[in-house]
Amino acid sequence: MRKLLPALLICLLAAGGAFAADDVVKIGFFNCLTGQNAFGGQLELEGAQLALSEIPEVLGKKIELVVVDNKSDKTEAANAVARLIERDKVNAVIGTYGSALAMAGGEVAEAAKIPVMGTSCTNPLVTQNKRYYFRACFIDPFQGSGAAAYAYKTLNFKKAALLVDVANDYSVGLGSFFKQSFEKLGGEIVSEMKYNSGDQDFTAQLTEIISKNPDIVFLPAYFAEGAIVLKQAKELGATFRFMGGDAMDNPEIVTLGGDAVEGFLHTTFAYDPSMKDMNPVAQKFTENWKAKYPDKEPNVNAALGYDAFILVIDAIKRAGSAEPEKIRDALEATKDVPTVTGLTTLNETHDAEKELGIVEIRDGKKQFIGTITP
Amino acid sequence: MGIKMSFDMFMQHFINAVGLGSLYGLIAIGYTMVYGILRLINFAHGDIFMLGAYFVFFATVSYKLPWAFGVLAAIAGATLCGLLVDRIAYRPLRNAPRISALISAIGVSFFIENLSVVVFSGMPRPVVQPPLLMKAFSIGGVRLVPLALLVPAISFALAAGLLWLIYRTRSGLAMRSISHDIETTRLMGVSVDRIIALTFALGSALAAVAGIMWALRYPRVEPFMGIIPGFKAFIAAVFGGIGSIPGAMLGGLSLGFVEIMSIAFFPKLSGYRDAFAFILLILILLVKPTGLMGEKLEDKI
Amino acid sequence: MSGPDAIGEGNNKTRDAVLTAVAAVVFAAALWLASSNLDGYKLRIINLIAINAILGLSLNLIYGMTGMFSLGHAGFMAIGAYVSALLILSPEQKTTMWILEPIAPWLLNVRAPFVVSLAAAGLAAAFFGWLVALPVLRLGGDYLGIATLGFSEIIRILITNLTPITNGSLGLKGIPAHTDIRMSYGCLAVVLFCMVRLMRSNFGNVLRAVRDDEIAARTMGIDTFRTRVLAFTLGCFGGGLGGALMGNLITTIDPKMFMITQTYSLLMIVVVGGLGSITGSIVGAVVVTTMLEWLRFVENPVTIGGVNIPGIPGMRMVIFSLLLIVVIIFRREGIMGMREFSWSRLFRGGSGGGGRR
């Protein structure tokens, strides 16, 4: 009954055309819908939209998701967030894929005192010294040390090489954290090669790495580039294993890489449609996703888009208000909220603490191997 | 530097360099032909290259055409696009200041790239490599796939064919004549627009072939894939001496070697790979502004 | 269409000065009103217009006025943006930001106020411009364009790789948002004033002479090489200044912001406005910047009468590039051509067309 009355009122008001802003909760969503990172941003949007269709209202108010494209460009990202806050007057913002974009948008939100929930921006700098930026994902030092521990302890690899995109902040960061942890564990980095975003020929770097004979090569690339690296490595007769990070987590990697990606390992968030023992949220997410987008596989980006939405709504519920400042305070107190990628707790630096998943590609399919907590 | 490199490893790098360099060379030919005749940097060339690769993708993956047909259709499609670009964006500006044509070229390049995002989506797509071309074998300690040999072979054959066309046919004569003096050539009764169109058609067809081979070698297509190869090929064209076809091939190979060997000999500096190419370019411009094999072009004042 | 300027010149001079002053005051008042009434999003665009105008003017000085085809402006912007940001950031910010490699010790405690950092940014860019100019300006035409483009890329690659100084691809963030309307339009006013004075001085005539006929200029005893180096260096100063303002507007910078596409969009501003016209660069900055923002509507989903039309991502740049081609083909001299705005032209109601000031 208590829900019915406001809902009725909303309908009446809507019919009258006088839609008072107080009757909707506006969640802004900025992400890469076009440009170089569109493959990730699009999935995150679909994840958030799926969550919206399951949770259409909060505190008896209708939720509206205002979507703005940041075009994988920093200037546009800052513009997009400014637009969401100034023009659309959103209560909170969700986004984005790409840490550099998150940082550009974050500065605007910080100045306007509007809370933001990051989706898959994993660079530590995103939330550093920020009062209003949070994220649904873990950060690269955690991921890098987890990957190093898995390679060194579980797989017993002692010699590693790095192949890093020097122009990509994510790649450089994750590569460097892997290196630190791997060396700390006692492993040896035998070769450290670099390339530039957009490069398509990696034969020189790979030939050099092959000559150093490592056990494993850590490749913190985006999946489209990574798949091509793996192809060329196979062509050149590389026999070592490759390992990557969460940016390699895309269903397309198998289509792009073909049999060259066989045996490829990557760390990721604790969700994959191939997972055996899914938590209830993940089960529901997977089922509903398949109903809503029948010809698309869900992945971690989709899951994080969904999770980010859930975390914001959870905070609004706990705050009992959609006031930005109150949402922020509630977000800070987020503890053990069940999400697709496991129980999420936001720590004092506003980063999600959750398990790290390991995926291997076997028989042309992504197989979720398990989770580790380093 | 105290780097010891085994002969096998050097040969592996050598093969990699020839493969990459010959592709740069093939793209560079298109730049060089247009520049030689119109003194125009055809920024859209890299995008024609991209379209060639996309057309093959659609022909073979989406429409399941056999490879031979797919390749022919892609070449035809890209050639047509090249002709359209000339007709719509460059021909109206023949007598305009050079900067206008240049801006128009940048506009066309933006247009093709962004339209491709709208039409093809920004998602990279895989290209199916014929297994026959990918069967790896070893000579000594060098690992090869047939494709790695086929790419330079086709590139050199096409460059040779083009040279024959330019130096042994009437159209070729007309092209060379236009590049020296467009007005006099017109007065001699040569249909200048037709010859320029022919130049664009040839350049675009070669770009399409390069695009197809590129898509086989680095098997994925995406709308912005032409920018960097196009850019590099342009450097190669300048390096070899813009206007000269053997120069374009030589420039492409040199660039391939600089890129690969800089990593082979200075692995620590692999992040600076592209800087090496640019430094070399600037050096050659300062020492010999016309490039390795270029003739002196009089600035048209 | 020139000629009648001589008639009643003394009279007109005072009139023009008064009109210019009045226009400046009106414009300043309008900006003041705007900065207290408009939302942050619109202000950001108004700021961007001023920055683009500064950048356009500086590129126009190199290319439009002096005839040197330079494709290196993005590189000089990058130098300016980094120099300014490195001077403004506090030592605490610097220590926490360099998470991969520690910052170079000599850089940690260097600090300067914003205005000083702007000057330093311009000077640093000018210094590098001068270094580049010495060897490269001996080249002519397109070769110069290619060489400057090469330098711009080398600068970007250096910034990407020199992590202890620049923080590499992670870039710099948390730059205080010092660029406000007052700052950006103040800088624009200074740049504009200098440009107008410069082009009206004898040096302006020398520049045009070098552009229009280098051989004749040389015969008249002009040291064309020195003239070109000077103009190039001045233009680079503007590039560095614009880059610094841009960094302080967006508050984060990284090497990817300074790719060749950045130079292209400046080139578009200059060409759409009119090569060699000061008024043109300002008109170009206004038109191109607002057009790019305004065109966003084609990508937003619209609901007309309950029917939801989804936005088409990427359509904005398609339309923008199409418009650019159309402008170049049908009005290749740009909006202003080589003309400048002047009050007498406005009063004659003839060929001028309106620009501000």
Q: For residue C111, what are its two tokens?
A: 């600090």
Clarify whether residues A148 and A132 are in a common domain.
no
- Segment C129-142 shows an average pLDDT of 85
pLDDT score recorded for residue C36: 83
Domain residues for A190? 141-273+357-372
List B137's β-bridge partners, or say none.
B144
Clarify whether residues A249 and A286 are in a common domain.
no
pLDDT score recorded for residue C10: 56
CA B287 to chain CA centroid, Å, is 25
Residue A205 Cα distances to A90, B56, B272, angstroms:
47, 29, 12
Would residue C300 count as lying in a domain?
no
Using the Cβ of B134 and the Cβ atoms of chain A, whether some distance falls under 8 Å is answered with yes
- Segment A214-222 shows an average pLDDT of 95
Contact C354, C346 (CB under 8 A): yes
Smallest CA-to-CA distance from C268 within C225, C326, C312 is with: C326
pLDDT score recorded for residue B299: 45
Query: Are the Cβ atoms of B299 and C275 closer than 8 angstroms?
Result: no
Clarify whether residues A365 and A217 are in a common domain.
yes
- pLDDT tier for residue C304 given thresholds of 50, 70 and 90: low
Per 3-state DSSP, chain B is made up of helix, strand and coil in percentages (nearest 5) of 75, 5, 20
Clarify whether residues A174 and A51 are in a common domain.
no
pLDDT score recorded for residue B296: 58
Residue C149 Cα distances to B31, B34, B60, C144, angstroms:
17, 20, 38, 8
pLDDT score recorded for residue C283: 93
pLDDT in tens, A114-148: 999 999 999 998 998 899 999 999 999 999 999 99
| Other C-beta atoms lying within 10 Å of the C-beta of residue B169 | 11
**How far is residue B107's CA from residue B118's CA, in Å, rounded to a whole number?**
16
**Which residue matches tokens 């100063």?**
C237
- pLDDT tier for residue A8 given thresholds of 50, 70 and 90: very low
- Please say if the pLDDT value at position C174 is more than 60: yes
- Where exactly are the structural domains of chain B? 7-287
- pLDDT tier for residue B118 given thresholds of 50, 70 and 90: confident
Query: Are the Cβ atoms of A82 and C40 closer than 8 angstroms?
Result: yes
Clarify whether residues A209 and A306 are in a common domain.
no
- Please say if the pLDDT value at position A17 is more than 70: no
Residues of A in contact with B61 (CB under 8 A): none
Residue A33 phi/psi, 5-degree rounding, is: -95, -20
| Other C-beta atoms lying within 10 Å of the C-beta of residue A246 | 28
pLDDT in tens, A89-118: 999 999 899 888 999 899 899 989 999 999
- pLDDT tier for residue A306 given thresholds of 50, 70 and 90: very high
Continuous segment of H or E residues that includes residue C282: helix C278-294
**How far is residue C137's CA from residue C147's CA, in Å, rounded to a whole number?**
9
- pLDDT tier for residue A206 given thresholds of 50, 70 and 90: very high
| Other C-beta atoms lying within 10 Å of the C-beta of residue B187 | 10
Chain C interface test: which of A79, A193, A197 (most C C-beta within 10 Å): A79
pLDDT in tens, A159-183: 999 999 999 888 999 999 999 999 9
pTM of the model: 0.88
**Which residue matches tokens 């910080």?**
A110
- Segment A48-61 shows an average pLDDT of 93
- Please say if the pLDDT value at position B2 is more than 60: no
On average, the pLDDT of chain C sits at 86
Q: How far is A166 from chain B (nearest CA, A)?
A: 6
Q: Which residue of B has its CA nearest to A200?
A: B218
pLDDT in tens, A319-363: 999 999 999 999 999 999 999 998 999 999 999 988 899 999 999
pLDDT score recorded for residue B295: 67
pLDDT score recorded for residue A12: 43
Would residue C270 count as lying in a domain?
no
pLDDT score recorded for residue B4: 60
Smallest CA-to-CA distance from B15 within B268, B264, B207 is with: B264
Residues of C in contact with A34 (CB under 8 A): 299, 313-314
How many percent of chain A have pLDDT more than 70? 94
**How far is residue A52's CA from residue A50's CA, in Å, rounded to a whole number?**
5
- Segment B24-32 shows an average pLDDT of 93
Using the Cβ of B235 and the Cβ atoms of chain C, whether some distance falls under 8 Å is answered with yes
Provide residues of A within 8 Å CB-CB of chain C: 33-34, 38, 69, 74-75, 78-79, 82-83, 85-87, 100, 103-104, 107-108, 111-112, 123-125, 128-129, 166-169, 171-173, 176, 196-197
CATH architecture, domain defined by B7-287? Orthogonal Bundle (1.10)
Clarify whether residues A215 and A321 are in a common domain.
no
Q: In 3-state terms, what secondary structure has residue B143?
A: strand
How many percent of chain B have pLDDT more than 70? 96
On average, the pLDDT of chain A sits at 89
- Please say if the pLDDT value at position A187 is more than 70: yes
Q: Which residue of A has its CA nearest to C292?
A: A76
**Largest pairwise CA distance in chain B:** 63
How many percent of chain C have pLDDT more than 90? 38
E strand spans, chain A: 24-31, 57-58, 61-69, 92-94, 116-118, 133-135, 159-165, 188-195, 216-218, 241-244, 265-269, 337-339, 342-346, 352-353, 356-362, 365-372
- Segment C175-195 shows an average pLDDT of 92
Would residue C317 count as lying in a domain?
no
Clarify whether residues A68 and A173 are in a common domain.
no
pLDDT score recorded for residue C300: 66
Provide DSSP, C114-138: HHHHHHHHHHHHHHHHHHHHHHHTT
Length of chain C measured in residues: 357
pLDDT score recorded for residue B85: 94
pLDDT score recorded for residue A217: 97
**How far is residue C311's CA from residue A318's CA, in Å, rounded to a whole number?**
35
The count of domains in chain C is 1
Residue C10 Cα distances to C5, C7, C193, angstroms:
10, 9, 21
Q: In 3-state terms, what secondary structure has residue C193?
A: helix
* DSSP annotation of A272: -
Partner-chain residue, chosen from A205, A228, A237, that has the shortest CB–CB distance to B143: A237
Clarify whether residues A291 and A222 are in a common domain.
no
List A24's β-bridge partners, or say none.
A62
Clarify whether residues A155 and A112 are in a common domain.
no
Q: In 3-state terms, what secondary structure has residue A165?
A: strand
List A371's β-bridge partners, or say none.
A357
- Please say if the pLDDT value at position C141 is more than 80: no
- Please say if the pLDDT value at position B20 is more than 80: yes
Clarify whether residues A43 and A115 are in a common domain.
yes
> According to the per-residue pLDDT averaged within each range, which of C85-94, C252-261, C269-278 is highest?
C85-94
Cis peptide leading into B290, omega within 30 of 0? no
> According to the per-residue pLDDT averaged within each range, which of A357-366, B236-245, C116-125 is highest?
C116-125
Q: Which residue of A has its CA nearest to B10?
A: A207
pLDDT score recorded for residue C313: 66
The count of domains in chain A is 2
Query: Are the Cβ atoms of A166 and C44 closer than 8 angstroms?
Result: no
> According to the per-residue pLDDT averaged within each range, which of B149-158, C217-226, C250-259 is highest?
B149-158
Domain residues for C176? 26-259
* Amino acid at residue number C161: N
- Please say if the pLDDT value at position C217 is more than 50: yes
Half-sphere CA count of C5, side-chain side, radius 13 A: 9
Q: What is the CATH number of the domain that holds A190?
A: 3.40.50.2300
Query: Are the Cβ atoms of C174 and A129 closer than 8 angstroms?
Result: yes
Residue C337 Cα distances to B294, C277, C353, angstroms:
35, 7, 11
- Please say if the pLDDT value at position B163 is more than 70: yes
pLDDT score recorded for residue A70: 86
Clarify whether residues A166 and A284 are in a common domain.
no
**How far is residue C229's CA from residue C235's CA, in Å, rounded to a whole number?**
10
pLDDT score recorded for residue B197: 93
Smallest CA-to-CA distance from A267 within A360, A366, A352, A205 is with: A360
Q: For residue A17, what are its two tokens?
A: 């055309």
* Torsion, CA A209, CA A212, CA A214, CA A217, rounded to 10: -20
| Other C-beta atoms lying within 10 Å of the C-beta of residue A76 | 23
Q: How far is C77 from chain A (nearest CA, A)?
A: 15
**How far is residue B134's CA from residue A169's CA, in Å, rounded to a whole number?**
34
Query: Are the Cβ atoms of A256 and B124 closer than 8 angstroms?
Result: yes
Query: Are the Cβ atoms of A167 and C160 closer than 8 angstroms?
Result: yes
Residue C315 Cα distances to B95, B118, C319, angstroms:
31, 7, 6
pLDDT score recorded for residue A145: 93
Smallest CA-to-CA distance from C235 within C87, C357, C71 is with: C71
pLDDT in tens, A236-288: 989 999 999 999 988 888 888 888 999 999 999 999 988 888 899 999 999 99
Would residue C238 count as lying in a domain?
yes
Q: How far is C323 from chain B (nearest CA, A)?
A: 9
pLDDT in tens, C38-97: 877 788 889 999 999 999 999 999 988 888 888 899 999 999 999 999 999 999 989 888
pLDDT in tens, B248-281: 999 999 999 999 999 999 999 999 998 988 888 8
Clarify whether residues A200 and A331 are in a common domain.
no
* DSSP annotation of B129: P
Q: Which residue of A has its CA nearest to B215?
A: A200
- Please say if the pLDDT value at position C342 is more than 90: no
pLDDT in tens, B222-235: 888 998 899 899 98
Q: Give me the interface pTM, i.e. the ipTM.
A: 0.88
